[in-house]
Amino acid sequence: MSLLSRALPALRLYCIGLAVALHQLLRRLRPGGPPAPVFPTQNGNVAIVTGGAKGIGYHTVKHLARLGMHVIIAGNDESEGQEAVRKIKEETVNEKVEFLHCDLASMKSIRQFVQQFRAKNCPLHVLVNNAGVMLVPERKTEDGFEEHFGLNYLGHFLLTNLLLETLKQSGTRSRNARVITVSSATHYVGRLHLNDLQSRCSYSPHGAYAQSKLALVLFTYRLQHLVTADGSHVTANVVDPGVVNTELYKNVCWATKVVKWMTAWLFFKTPEEGASTSIYAAVSPELEGVGGIYLYNEQRTKSTDVSYDEELQRRLWTESCKMTRICDVGSRDL
């Protein structure tokens, strides 16, 4: 593969990132702007947020807890998770915040997490698939999957499917259960290689990351199709938090780190700002019964054209079922 071919995924990723950052800057410079939305209390509702111990996930958990929800942080760092629980309880005066270990890079860990959650015998009204890695060097998960694809996408695919029955049982006609999956604008430059989902032929951290984010959009649309087909009271939507100043950028090159350090205050959203669309998707009455949409800045937005390819959605779902060794309920839809 030529040097130019190797550089293209990185170039596409940085271009889309720059475009989003500029859009955020222009939005900030506008006078006034809409007031922060006020959401109804969520007493009695239960949510799971992956990666909820820091960054966007932390602020998502904190806001849901402030609304009265029972929130479970799913994460792979016990001490970090328990510290997040302590701080959120203190700030929100909500004792129903807890941490359960879940390593999304391990199918065994995901299954153990689901078993622990089921043992609580509580409903599940909101699942926020938030955790992720970005631009990591080439490496594999415990199960042998490329890490971006395995953790960002397959881990959430398995987790959602294992919790889907509980979500269906918890949703009602007047209040649907909700699955919110965090993707990003990088999905617009993603390419889904069904014959090489593990990026074995030629690894690019930029290409692998963008592919995982595109896969999450395709997964969300397929999930919505399936829950609608069987009449379940569950909605699935995908959110784009924008360019946010979080630890996800720790794997970028030193030059990018310097530029980020110099400009983040101006171009980047804070993690709290980045969480706003996830929170909106989780609790806004405006989205009651609404599924299969892509949200950016709390607004319905068109995702990349290829994400609406129903055959591609179906093929990715089928392949994902094989990889995670679960039953392909979607095959009955053919």
Active site residues: 209
In sign, the C-alpha dihedral spanning 22, 23, 28, 31 is positive
Q: Measuring CA to CA, which residue among 180, 172, 148, 160 is closest to residue 63?
A: 180
CA atoms of 137 and 204, how far apart (whole Å): 9
CA atoms of 146 and 88, how far apart (whole Å): 33
CA atoms of 296 and 317, how far apart (whole Å): 24
CA atoms of 98 and 90, how far apart (whole Å): 13
According to DSSP, residue 30 is labeled S
For 226-289, where are the E strands, in sequence order? 234-240
Cβ-Cβ contacts under 8 Å for 255 (sequence gap 6 or more): none
103 φ, ψ (degrees, to nearest 5): -95, 110
Q: Give CA 272 to chain center in angstroms.
A: 15
Place of tokens 């694809």: 149
Task: Measure the N-to-C terminal CA separation of the chain; round to a whole number of Å.
Answer: 38
